[in-house]
Chain A
Amino acid sequence: MRKLGYRIAAVAVVTATAATVTAVRLVAPSEATTTTVGRMVAGAEVKAAPDSTSPADLAVDFEALLGQHSVLASNMMRSRFRGDDDFVQAANASLGRNTDDMTGLVGKLFGDATAAKFRPLWSEHVVMLFAYAGALADHDDTAKAKALAELTEYETRLAQFFSGASQGRLPMATALPLVVTHIEHLTGQADAYAAGDYTKADELFRMGFQHTYDLGLGLAKALLPPSDTAVLDEPVWRLRSQLGKLLAEHAVLIEDTTRAAVTRTPDFTASGQSMNANTSDIAAAVDTLFNAAAAKQFQQLWGTHVEALVAYAAATAAKDTAKQQMARDTLTKFQKDLAKFLSAATNGRATPAALEAALGEHDRMLMQHADLYAAKNYQSAHDIAYETYDHMFHLARTLADAFGSTVAAKLPKGGAATGFGGLAGHV
């Protein structure tokens, strides 16, 4: 289980189980003076969601953390090129925090001994990726070749680690290409970003996120006993995993896009394109779950949200408080409109008030992220980005369950009457 996280409980949004609980924020290790902080959302006192520790729950959490690792590693490498003041925080705090969370989860999933081996091994490639990025930034071909050689050697060791822990379920021949692809996505996006090819860099950024996210589930399925992971192939778990990936990706892409808007860097256009691709993917999921008309309506609403957040970031950069307020007002309306839409789509399984509160929290965190970034308070900006990812991932879980229940109620009942007996005894 993650040490810091927003747990949006199913009981919060889904009427069928409860109506009062919406979110909980556990306290980061660095926030040593407090224990657990409750929040007031939509007038209801916030309580901790039940701690889900089934292997399937942990496996889905593991894939989210691995996907987040890919994003944080990419950001760390890009920061190195940009020479941002924030790269120390990006590299050392966010990535370290992600590694801490992953190690904790590895311990719960696969045991303390595996976790003890995992942490130093995993941390090693973060250092190597930083060295690679530094070599690129310095145009030092010798250092780049050295970093690549180290990464290549490392890929084999990491694949051996996973393969060895799987008790034969993950052959080395399968594990190695998966690890190699992860490293290639990260170095590839770095190469493209350093060359100013932001479109290619962002394409690889998305591919890297999606590959690593899926890798997390694949590893969990390989390393855990089959009896613990069989449920992960069931539609309800697939939907939780897939919707979590789409919405978590939304969080990282909107952060990336608003960062570029705040800093007015030329990578903004490519970030915006990636953002739009993700929006289309989420709309496609709505089509699958409901219908094309709902997808179209959703995309319009979601687009309003994305545009308002970008506008807020741009206004923040321009110190234009009037435009900031316009963006806030747009987001407030969006939260009401989307909450109403989703509640109707789920036949009331998701309550408008709880949805509005959850969407409001999402937007609040993203605006705070833009504010902090513009104020060059990078440590806090990275902290809120980390929490935003977690919040969105868990909101996705709640939505997946509400969507799944809604669709399940409309599915055909029983088998199909598709025969009249002419071939009886032969089929």
Chain B
Amino acid sequence: MIYHLVPKRVVTWTLVFFLCGFAVSAPAGSSDADLEESSGSDEITQNNDEILPHYKGEGSFYLGFRAVNIDTAGRSAEYEDGKSSIALGLDGLACPLPHRYHMHLEYFGEHNNYADFGYAYKDLLLFRNVFVGIHHNLDHYNYLYPGDPPAVLFEDRSPGDENYVDFIKNELLLRAKAPDFPLHVFAKHRYVEREGILEQRFLAGSIGNLIKTSESRDINWESNDLTLGMNSHLGPVEVEFSRNESTFDPGTGSVLYDYFPSSTVFGRPGDTYPHNVVPETESSGNTIRFHSSFTGQIVASATLSNAENTNNYSGAESDGWKAAMDLRWIPDPVVSLFFKYRHQEKDKENPEQVVLSGLVNRITYPVRTPISTEKDLFSLSARYRPLNKLTLIGNYEFEHRKRTDIDDWIVLPADSDVHRINLTAHARPLNTLKLKAIYDYEAYANPSYNTEPDHSNKIRLNATYTPVGWITVFCDYSLRLMQREELQYLQGNELVLLEDGERDGRMDRFLGSLSLLFSPEVTLTASWAYNRRKIEQDLAYTLWSTTGAGRDLPYYDRGVPYSDESNTFILSLYYLLRKDLTLTADLSYTIAEGEYLPGDVIAGNSSTLGSFSAMETTETMVTVGLAKKILQDWEVGVSFAADFFEDRFNDGAGVEQDDEAFITTFTVKRYF
């Protein structure tokens, strides 16, 4: 079974296969004799008899050393494992027809690599394999105030542990075609592996003696996804059928156990119970797709698919199917109409009850019925090109969402409708000026969540101006405004839906850049990007009833502002100092700020809460590269990259973020 292929083996054999391929296809350029033979005719005539063409293989290979110097495994080196390594690269393209090979390989360490191999034989066989490996440093949070208040303790069972994940993904495609007929069979396989140490946070203890807990968790997760399919023609209609199966295996340690003391509030006896389970899951599905010939005035396509998902730990299931239809009609070269329809159904099913098995006790709890959903989406677009330099596009979209089995959930509406209108204009008033203007309007009836607005308006303006050949100016600005009334909150355990409060949102985004092509040897680009997200929302907090059991209506903290803002400045230089000497340099500086200012919701000063969520960080990245050609086909290169991350707001978030990273790479490259 392809399912159980060991990816390293796949990669190894693939590499061997390709190296052999490249070896047998040693540069085979057209010989003079070939050329003479192919141009033997004396006059220009209709003659299609050709010899099999040859292509001279080409590529490069480099070897070097990559020195990594990281102060801490903090934010600036989020994807670096901190280990220096040899640097190895291979780039090749060889076409000893009818065989064609390509290869791109980067190796910067055990957990930082990329490989892309491809092979084709005529149009009969196609093979492709893409492998990616990367290391990801994860934050290690601390709760800095254990025992303050006394009812909340903190226990870090693995203090000082560095948390990380080594990620591997391998994607393989194999496609075969019948000779002289467009019938294809194909197989696609994806393997994903995550191995490392996570920081598992969870709540231990019981009410009155809560223990925020952190411990290291070894993981070795694997996922396999296999798709088999066929594709062919049915007269003017093309049809494709595929079957997909995927599995997720959390490996050993998928269940954690801890002792939880008895809870008088919830009536659960003290025992060792499972928690933070990572379940094994399986899913499968079938897809059938049709489309008509693309060459007519009317083109139609349709997709029908189903999917079944199973959780092997709890028995939860989810089934669903989707249908999609596209229709394009070009009644006239300047007018096009596009219609889309999408339908999606997702049915979820849970066991009616779950048994929590402790070491001693077995407790049965009811499980509420999960929400099942249906979605329908209709979209109609029209494109009109009144002038060669002007294109107008209009789109109307209607989406209907329906939920069933929501009685236990209360807060979600049974039906939600969304209307969307989009108007776009592309214009080229001058040969040197390109403009784009977009207007989006959205209206929600019964929005699903508080984060969805009743109404939203968005404009976007985009211009590219090239006054002279060596200057290009680019500007892009967008603004989105959102309003929402009658926010919905669930009043704690009372299971009462409350409708009160408002929310306003504003998002601005600007991007400007100036590119200067001083000469073919010197290019300089300067860019500035600005992003702001600003929200004002009424937030609800539970209030215990002081006159009896239960709760009062919640306390509303009105108009709480929240914002994120960032400015990014980038400078890029390409400079061909001499014919054999190239300099590249990039500098980027990002400053990000954020605020959250709750009102007076607690005794004393609420700024404690605001300061926790306040944020001000800067990141400066510098990259300089120098490449010098030596001899005929050799090149030496050195590149230096530095990254400085500073968390300016010492907010007690419990994670160390400030750090610096320096990476220097030396390479010797040979072109062939």
Query: A and B from one assembly?
Result: no
Enumerate chain A interface residues (CB-CB to B < 8 A). Answer: none
